[in-house]
A and B are shown apart, each in its own frame.
Chain A
Amino acid sequence: MSEKLLEIRDLKKHFPVTKGIVFQKVIGLVKAVDGVSYSINAGETMGLVGESGCGKTTTSKLILMLETPTSGEIVFRGQDIQTLQRKDLRTYRRGVQAVFQDPFSSLNPRIRVGDIIAEPVVVNEALPKAEIKERVQELLRFVGLSPNAVNLFPHEFSGGQRQRIAIARALSLNPSLIILDEPVSALDVSIRAQIMNLLQDLQRQFGLSYLLIAHDLAAVLHLSTTIAVMYLGRIAELATSDDLRHKPLHPYTQALFSAALPSHPDEQREEIIIAGEVPSPLNPPSGCRFHPRCPFVKAVCSEVEPVLRPVADGHQVACHLYTDPA
């Protein structure tokens, strides 16, 4: 049906922690991403959800080639991106773009909006100025802004409008995949829905794929086709949005659902308050990383790390509760 656009295979990113100024000695490893595998199909949205330290932002940086993986593969349209050279690299850049969280730091305050949106095109294509101008105005219309915005500076726009400009820029090269890193969390509540609807409309109109990274479970459920729940650098659960919503299996996922804020004062939810804090990725717990905080912990959990295994069609969990026969 839909082609596999992007595939991540056992991706790992470890940051060395060094001591000393001149002769740096490695005293530890921050295992930000520690063995993550999933794939994104064309036209679909993959949601990555998790709390601080889970590695979702690092994953996005690896895909955008802002960081290099320690090991593992990132395969885009059948090609391992780490082996790409020059011209193919350019093709990759054309295919994958990004929108980041902070609308105030995403746009260079000294450059006009028209030039900000046109930059990817100017860098990657050799189009005449008139054509570029037309394209920019077209993009502005797509994101719901007036074409007059071309000559204005970012500070003349509100947060929501700036995020639209960032989206227009991301669209400028006709990418296949857009990485959305917390695209609405810095915006006012009343604007969030606008932007989320816009993203949905654009997806339908252009057949885009999204990698959506967010901490707001409800927003991720709303926009995503498939969701990966991450914890301390690994995937705890991987399922379609509907499956996850109706049957969250991993205790951490269940805790996330329980911790999510209600939408009505009478909404009763089973209270699973997990104790403790997220451990440091420098020193993850042995065995299953979630075991110190898990309300269903068993003996095996502190010894053996569970593997992500399918338990139903398209639904994978990394938890001894489900993947052990006993």
Chain B
Amino acid sequence: MAHPLLELKQLQTYFISSKGTRIVKAVDGVSFTLAEGETLGIVGESGSGKTVTSLSILRLLPAAARIVGGEIWFGGENLVTKSEPEMRRVRGSQITMILQDPLMSLNPLFTIGEQIAEPLRIHLGMRGGTLVERIKELLRGVRIPSPEVRMREYPHQMSGGMRQRIVGAISISCEPRLLIADEPTTSLDVTIQAQYLKLLKDIQKRSGLAMIFITHNIGIVAKMCDQVAVMYAGKLVERAPVRTIFNQPAHPYTEALLNAMPKLTDKSERLWSIEGQPPDLANLPPGCPFSPRCPRAEDRCRREVPPEVQVGDDHYTRCWLWERS
């Protein structure tokens, strides 16, 4: 693609214990690209490194974590080398984030209006009447009725779905180019989730913003995403356009995830399950991290980490089974 909006090149983020003895490779050599207006879904379970990847992009890592290698190219600049004041200009205005728990994302001591105003004041320097109008406009944009009244209310006075919409409003307030949503609907009811996802899709259509959806639910990916990246134990094991992932999954893990989902449509007697336990990041096997659970693992898989190979149009995977072709 011409100029991707976001490009990760071999990103490595490790958690290092204070005495330097324990290293957890939370993100280990992850690369992908994202074009303007596109939606990428990063799918993985606990310990896959998907959240750490998003925190690395925004440079919001906890103290024990460090980006030890790789590059993050956004709008022509490498975010890894930026200083903290420079990153502060990026966060909130160029790249924003929505988290899972809206109750944790909103400050219980400030009104909704004040919280929406914050990024507008900092990044766009809005004040007074224009600021109030913009806040009302944003609230209307996320389908919150009577914005003038709601502005003066506090987070605890609203329901979970509403709070998540307000978090959405805050994040798009400065018209960012990229929105990272980390499990934004996990705590929402199913019908509210449907509303919310539709809202996000509409916002994207209106503003042309690119989105990264981080989720463990492959159904969200099917509904919302154009591109998919599947992560396992810190490595990106497959990336492809969404239909390719569903129709021709290359990596055994992706295949297993797709099969393990109970579907509304068919009534199979038994679900296809993946053997074994989720990986222990401090204690990974020497080869492919999925090898202990892979039904098709060979000797080589257990010894050497497979490199990323191309298996089709815009379709890459890390698996020795594809190396031959």
Contact = CB atoms under 8 A, between A and B. Distances in A.
A217 B272 CA distance: 18
B194 interface: yes
A189 B219 contact: no
B161 A277 contact: yes
Contact of A215 (B161, B190, B246): B190
A265 interface: yes
A5 interface: no
Contacts of A264: 222, 246
A273 B268 CA distance: 28
Contact of B191 (A158, A190, A255): A255
A217 B190 contact: yes
B262 A218 contact: yes
A214 B265 CA distance: 18
Interface residues of B, number: 42
A101 interface: no
A256 B194 CA distance: 9
A160 interface: yes
Interface string B132-172: 00000000000000000000000000011110000000000
A259 interface: yes
B46 A273 contact: no
A52 interface: yes
B190 A188 contact: no
Contacts of B242: 265
A242 B267 contact: yes
A106 interface: no
Contacts of B193: 259
A158 B260 CA distance: 19
Contacts of A192: 260
A168 B287 CA distance: 34
Interface in B175-199: 189-195, 198
Interface in B69-92: none
A193 B220 contact: no
Interface in B270-291: 270-275, 277-278
Contacts of A221: 262, 264, 267
Contact of B222 (A259, A265, A273): A265
B219 A258 contact: no
Contact of A262 (B45, B189, B223, B267): B223
Contact of B256 (A190, A219, A259, A260): A190
A82 interface: no
B296 to A, nearest CB: 16
Interface stretch (A17-25, A110-118, A122-130, A194-202): A194-202
Given A222-B271, A273-B195, A266 B243 contact: yes
Contacts of A76: none
Interface string B33-60: 0000000000001100000000000000
Interface string B198-237: 1000000000000000001111101100000000000000
Contact of B271 (A196, A256, A274, A275): A196
A188 B278 contact: yes
B274 A200 contact: no
B257 interface: yes
A26 interface: no
Interface string B239-250: 000110010000
A278 interface: yes
Contact of A188 (B194, B195, B216, B262): B216
Given A189-B45, A217-B264, 16 more contacts: A51-B190, A51-B192, A158-B277, A188-B216, A189-B257, A190-B256, A190-B278, A193-B273, A194-B274, A196-B262, A222-B267, A260-B219, A260-B264, A261-B219, A261-B222, A273-B195
30 contacts: A52-B160, A52-B189, A158-B278, A159-B278, A160-B277, A161-B277, A189-B218, A189-B260, A189-B261, A190-B45, A191-B278, A196-B262, A196-B271, A215-B189, A215-B190, A216-B262, A222-B267, A222-B268, A242-B267, A256-B190, A257-B264, A261-B217, A262-B219, A263-B222, A265-B246, A273-B198, A277-B159, A277-B161, A278-B159, A278-B191
